[in-house]
Amino acid sequence: MQKRKLGNGGLEVSAIGLGCMGLSYGYGPATAAPEAIGLIRAAFESGVTFFDTAEAYGPYKNEELVGEAVAPFRDKVVIATKFGFEFDANGGQSGMNSRPEHIRKVADAALKRLKTDRIDLFYQHRVDPDVPIEEVAGAVKGLIGEGKVKHFGLSEAGAQTIRRAHAVQPVAAVQSEYSLWWREPEAEILPALEELGIGFVPFSPLGKGFLTGAIDENTKFDSSDFRNVVPRFTPEARKANQALVDLIGRIAATKKATPAQIALAWLLAQKPWIVPIPGTTKLHRLKENIGAANVGLTPGDISQIEAALSGISVQGDRYPPHLQSRVDR
């Protein structure tokens, strides 16, 4: 697989990474460990060198899973994990915490769970309104100085926050949602990243599965599936948004590709420093997603997609109100 660089600090990764969250958390029951480990190793064998996890996924279980899975080839891959939350005794999130002393504790614990001596990319999972971003960046800078962390990242951060953090410790990558049905980063985030020389890592690049065409208004989600509380996934919104999936399907047919591959190829075509991290629990979907790196979209294809998209209005917010408040502006 082709490689791409995130930021100006020499962080090189496969053009498509693997978001590992769904193997443990968020989209229904956790995948059995042997299957999950097999899927991560199959991704590596297919050219994926970028694996995304977080202490919050589980919590903790996903980091342990990733650590075990990549142990045989640890030095050949890039592991990204995250800090920024507190958890109660039952594993629920009990608030944000990006105080410097907490960041250090999270880093040390993550190193043990990941079975490694360094975190390649350490993101602040969400911007903490109670801790100046300069203090956060300074704490990660200290960890980089000690060799425990290689690169600093931010997730769902606004442009001004990114600039302030970058002035203290260069930011290698910003991770936020970005896809054919959520394009808000194009307004302020992408221009700022291009100016500063920072990479961009879109999560939910397949619209939490919707852009694959495998979900419609009648789809039933497991009771533990996060999408049950997402306004964009109400049956009414799914019915209204089917027009977008139909459009992608028509384009895919002309390119002899799948809708998922078109959605990922569109992201790859936006900028050479964009690296999407689709997640999956299924081996055939993994291979399909990786195949998107070989789907070339011409400027004419992109123009056709843009023209068609201009006539479609996506319905429904991407987060329920209590989570939307955590997105930095």
pTM, 2 dp: 0.98
Catalytic pick from 27, 57, 123, 178?
57
| Cβ contact 104:146 at 8 Å | no
Res 45: pLDDT: 98
Question: What distance separates the 2 farthest-apart alpha carbons in the chain?
Answer: 54
pLDDT digits over 230-249, tens only?
999 999 999 999 999 999 99
Res 139: pLDDT: 98
Res 289: pLDDT: 98
Instruction: State which amino acid sits at residue 179.
Output: S
pLDDT digits over 177-201, tens only?
999 999 999 999 999 999 999 999 9
Say if 255 falls within a structural domain.
Answer: no
Res 327: pLDDT: 85
pLDDT band at 133 (very low <50, low <70, confident <90, very high): very high
- CATH code at position 277: 3.20.20.100
Say if 250 falls within a structural domain.
Answer: no
Q: Is the pLDDT of residue 61 over 90?
A: yes
Segment 144-153 shows an average pLDDT of: 98
Say if 320 falls within a structural domain.
Answer: no
What's the total number of domains in the chain? 1
Res 261: pLDDT: 98
Would you call 326 exposed, middle or buried from its count of C-beta atoms within 10 A (0-12, 13-18, 19+)?
Answer: middle
CA dihedral 227, 286, 244, 265 (to 10 degrees): 130
Say if 233 falls within a structural domain.
Answer: no
Say if 240 falls within a structural domain.
Answer: no
Owning domain of residue 84: 3-207+271-294
Residue count of the chain, please give it.
329
Q: Is the pLDDT of residue 329 over 80?
A: no
Q: Is the pLDDT of residue 326 over 90?
A: no
Residue 197: closest CA among 4, 9, 2: 9
Cα angle vertex 46, ends 246, 199, to 5°? 70
Say if 236 falls within a structural domain.
Answer: no
pLDDT digits over 253-307, tens only?
999 999 999 999 999 999 999 999 999 999 999 999 999 999 999 999 999 999 9
Report in angstroms the alpha-carbon separations of 82 from 110, 113, 127: 9, 13, 12
Res 325: pLDDT: 79
**Does 25 participate in catalysis according to the annotation?**
no
Segment 149-172 shows an average pLDDT of: 98
Query: Per the omega criterion (within 30 degrees of 0), is the bond before 59 cis?
Result: yes
Res 56: pLDDT: 97
Q: What is the DSSP string of 189-200?
A: HHHHHHHHT-EE
Say if 108 falls within a structural domain.
Answer: yes
**28-40 residues labelled b (16+ CB within 10 A) or e (exposed):** eebbeeeebbebb
Q: How far apart are CA 148 and CA 301, in angstroms?
A: 43
pLDDT band at 226 (very low <50, low <70, confident <90, very high): very high
pLDDT band at 328 (very low <50, low <70, confident <90, very high): confident
Lowest mean pLDDT among 129-138, 146-155, 212-221, 320-329: 320-329
CB proximity list for 74: less than 8 A, separation 6 or greater? 115, 116
Res 117: pLDDT: 98
Say if 80 falls within a structural domain.
Answer: yes
Q: Name the residue with higher pLDDT: 61 or 328.
A: 61
pLDDT band at 324 (very low <50, low <70, confident <90, very high): confident
